[in-house]
Amino acid sequence: MRIYLDHAATTPLLPGAGEAWQVAARTVGNASATHSWGREARRITEESRERIAAALGAHSGEVVFTSGATEADNLAVLGMAEARRQADPQLNRVLISAVEHPAVRLGAAELAARGFEVTELPVDSQGLLRLGVLSDALRRNPKGIALLSCLWVNNEMGAIAPIPEIAALADSYGIPLHSDAVQAVGLPSITFAAATLPGLSGLSISAHKIGGPMGIGALLIRRDAPIVPLTYGGGQERRIRSGTVPVALIAAFAAALDEVVLKRELQYESLRQLRNTLSDGLTALGANVIGPAHPNHQAPHILYAIFPGVSAETLLMLLDQAGIAASAGSACSAGVIQPSETLLAMGYTPQDALSGVRFSLGWTNTPTDITTLLQLLPDLLTRASSV
Amino acid sequence: MARLIAALSGGVDSAVAAARMVDAGHEVTAVHLALARNPLLHRAGSRGCCSLEDAHDAKRVADKLGIPFYIWDFSEQFQHAVVDDFVAEYAAGRTPNPCLRCNERIKFAAMLERAVALGFDGLITGHYAQLEQDLDGSVALYRATDGIKDQSYVLGVMTTAQLQRSYFPLGGSHKPEVRAEAARRGLLVADKPDSYDICFISDGDTAGWLAGFLGSRPGDIVDETGQVLGHHDGSYRFTIGQRKGLALNRPAPDGQPRYVVGIDAAARKVIVAGREHLAVQTLYCGEPIWCSPAQYGSWEGAVQVRAHAPEIPATLTATPDAVVVELHSPVLGVAPGQSAVFYQGRRVIGSATIIGTTPAKPASV
Contacts from B262-267 at CB under 8 Å and sequence distance 24+? B263/B93, B263/B235, B263/B238, B263/B239, B263/B335, B264/B93, B264/B235, B265/B91, B265/B92, B265/B93, B265/B235, B265/B236, B266/B93, B267/B219
Task: List the single residue in A with minimal CA-CA distance to B30.
Answer: A317
Q: Which of A220, A235, A258 is the last residue of a domain?
A: A258
Q: What is the mean pLDDT of chain A?
A: 95
CATH number of the domain residue A199 falls in = 3.40.640.10
| Residue B276 distance to chain A (closest CA, Å) | 50
CB A98 within 8 A of CB A120: yes
**Residue A51: partners with Cβ closer than 8 Å, 6 or more residues away:** A254, A257, A258
The amino acid at A223: R
How many Å apart are CA B106 and CA B127, to the nearest integer? 15
Confidence at residue B364, expressed as pLDDT on a 0 to 100 scale: 45
CA distances in angstroms from B189 to B14, B17, B40, B222, B280, listed in the order given: 10, 13, 18, 49, 42
B-chain residues near A338 (CB < 8 A): none
Is A374 exposed, middle or buried, given 0-12, 13-18 or 19+ CB atoms closer than 10 A?
A: middle
Phi/psi of residue A19, nearest 5 degrees: -65, -45
Catalytic residue check, B50: no
Measured between beta carbons, the chain B residues lying within 8 angstroms of A335 are 32, 34, 55, 59, 70-71
> CA distances (Å), B162 to each of A133, A352, B171, in order?
56, 32, 17
For B359, counting Cβ atoms within 10 Å of its Cβ (0-12 exposed, 13-18 middle, 19+ buried), the class is middle
A336–B71 CB contact, under 8 Å: yes
- Residues A84-136: tens digit of each pLDDT: 999 999 999 999 999 999 999 999 999 999 999 999 999 999 999 999 999 99
Of how many residues is chain B composed?
365
Those residues with Cβ within 8 angstroms of residue B30's Cβ, 6 or more apart along the chain or in another chain: B5, B6, B8, B18, B58, B61, B62, B65, B67, B68, B69, B70
How confident is the prediction for chain B on average, in pLDDT?
91
Greatest CA span in chain A, whole angstroms?
67
CB B362 within 8 A of CB B293: no
Q: What is the pLDDT of residues B298-323, one digit of tens each?
A: 999 999 999 989 999 999 999 999 99
What is the C-alpha to C-alpha distance for residues A80 and A175, in angstroms, rounded to an integer? 11
Q: Convert A50-80 to b/e letters by CB count within 10 Å (16 or more is b).
A: bbbbebbbbeeebbbbbbbbbbbbbbbbbbb
Q: Chain A contact for B75, CB < 8 A?
A: yes
Measure the N-to-C terminal CA separation of chain B; round to a whole number of Å.
54
B215-276 falls under which CATH superfamily?
A: Adenine nucleotide alpha hydrolases-like domains (2.30.30.280)
Looking at the 3D structure of chain A, how many domains does it have?
2
**Please, what is the angle between helix A247-284 and helix A367-385, to 10°?**
60
The residues with which A320 forms a beta bridge, in sequence order, are none
Q: Are residues A151 and A38 in the same domain?
A: yes
Residues of B214-242 as b/e, b for ≥16 C-beta within 10 angstroms? Answer: beeeebbbbbeeeeebeebebbbbbbbeb
If asked whether residues A289 and A349 sit together in one domain, one would say yes
Rg (CA), chain B: 22
Cα angle vertex B31, ends B72, B341, to 5°? 95
Contacts of A326 in chain B (CB under 8 A): none
The residues, any chain, with a CB within 8 Å of residue A84's CB and separated by 6 or more, are A91, A146, A147, A176, A226
Residue of A nearest to B58 (CA): A334
- Report whether A293 contacts A244 (CB < 8 A): no
Under 8 Å between Cβ of A322 and A375: no
Is A2 an 8 Å CB contact of chain B? no
**Same domain as A212, residue A128:** yes
Q: Which residues contact B19 (CB under 8 A, 6 or more apart)?
A: B61, B65, B181, B182, B185, B187
Question: Is there a single domain that holds both residue A134 and residue A171?
Answer: yes
pTM of the model: 0.89
Helix H or strand E segment including A139: helix A131-140
Q: Which residue of the set B50, B99, B102, B291 is catalytic?
A: B102
What pLDDT, in 10s, does the model give residues A265-299? 999 999 999 999 999 999 999 999 999 989 899 99
| Residue B49 annotated to the active site | no
Residue-number span of the structural domain to which A96 is assigned:
15-258
Contacts 24+ apart (CB under 8 A), B241-245: B241/B278, B241/B332, B241/B333, B241/B335
Q: What is the pLDDT of residue B44?
A: 52
Helix B12-23 to helix B175-184 angle (10° resolution) is 70
Are residues A184 and A280 both part of a single domain? no
Q: Report phi then psi at A378, rounded to 5.
A: -55, -45
Of A134-143, A332-341, B223-232, give the lowest mean pLDDT range: A332-341
CB-CB under 8 Å, A320 with B39: no
CB A305 within 8 A of CB A360: no
Residues A62 and A119 reside in one and the same domain: yes
A195 interfaces chain B, CB cutoff of 8 Å: no
Cα-flanking dihedrals φ and ψ of residue B254, to 5°? Answer: -90, 0
Cα–Cα distance list, A80 to A229, A235, B236 (Å): 9, 17, 53
| HEC profile of A235-276 | CCECCCECCCCCHHHHHHHHHHHHHHHHHHHHHHHHHHHHHH
Provide the 8-state DSSP code for B364.
G
Q: How many CB atoms lie within 10 A of CB B319?
A: 11
What whole-number distance in Å separates Cα of residue A62 and Cα of residue A65? 10
Cβ atoms A178, A147 nearer than 8 A: yes
What is the per-residue pLDDT for A338?
A: 82
Closest-CA residue of chain B to A354: B73
State phi, psi for A243 to the nearest 5 degrees. 125, 145
- A332, A338, A349, A350: the active-site residue: A332
pLDDT reading at B42 higher than 70:
no
If one counts every other C-beta atom within 10 angstroms of the C-beta of residue A228, the result is 16
Nearest-CA distance B116 → chain A (Å) = 9
Alpha-helix residue ranges (DSSP H) falling in chain B:
12-23, 52-65, 75-78, 85-91, 98-102, 112-117, 160-164, 175-184, 206-214
Q: With pLDDT > 70 as the criterion, what percentage of chain B qualifies? A: 95
Q: How far is A253 from chain B (nearest CA, A)?
A: 30
Single-letter amino acid, residue A3? I
Q: Is A333 on the interface with B (CB under 8 A)?
A: yes
Residue A70 has pLDDT above 60, yes or no: yes
**Quick one: CATH architecture of B3-191?**
3-Layer(aba) Sandwich (3.40)
ipTM comes to: 0.86
For residues A253 and A272, membership in a common domain is answered with no
A286 and A300 in a single domain? The answer is yes
Task: Say whether both A248 and A269 belong to one domain.
Answer: no
- Residue A189's SS3 state is coil
Please check the confidence at residue B47 and state whether its pLDDT lies above 50.
no
Of A201, A229, A258, the last residue of a domain is: A258
A270 and A244 part of one domain: no
**pLDDT tens, position by position, B135-159:** 888 899 999 999 999 999 999 999 9
What's the CATH number for B278-364?
A: 2.40.30.10
What residue type is assigned to position A383 of the chain? R
**A251/A280 same-domain check:** no
Residue B219, CA atoms < 13 Å, CB-side half-sphere = 20
Residues A268 and A254 occupy one common structural domain: no
Distance between CA atoms of B162 and B165, rounded to whole angstroms? Answer: 5
| Mean local confidence (pLDDT), B176-202 | 90
DSSP state of B110: I
Contact in structure between B286 and B351 (CB atoms under 8 Å): no
What distance in Å separates the CA atoms of residue A260 and residue A266, rounded to the nearest whole number? 10
Q: Is A314 near chain B, with CB under 8 Å?
A: yes
**pLDDT tens, position by position, A213-255:** 999 999 999 999 999 999 999 999 999 999 999 999 999 999 9
- What proportions of chain A, in percent to the nearest 5, are helix, strand and coil? 40, 15, 40
Tell me the C-alpha distance between B255 and B245, whole Å.
Answer: 17
Nearest beta carbon to residue B71 from set A321, A335, A386: A335
Residue where one domain finishes, among candidates A258, A292, A318: A258
| Contacts of B255 by beta carbon, 8 Å cutoff, 6+ apart | none
Domain ranges of chain B: 3-191, 215-276, 278-364
Chain B residue closest in CA terms to A321: B68
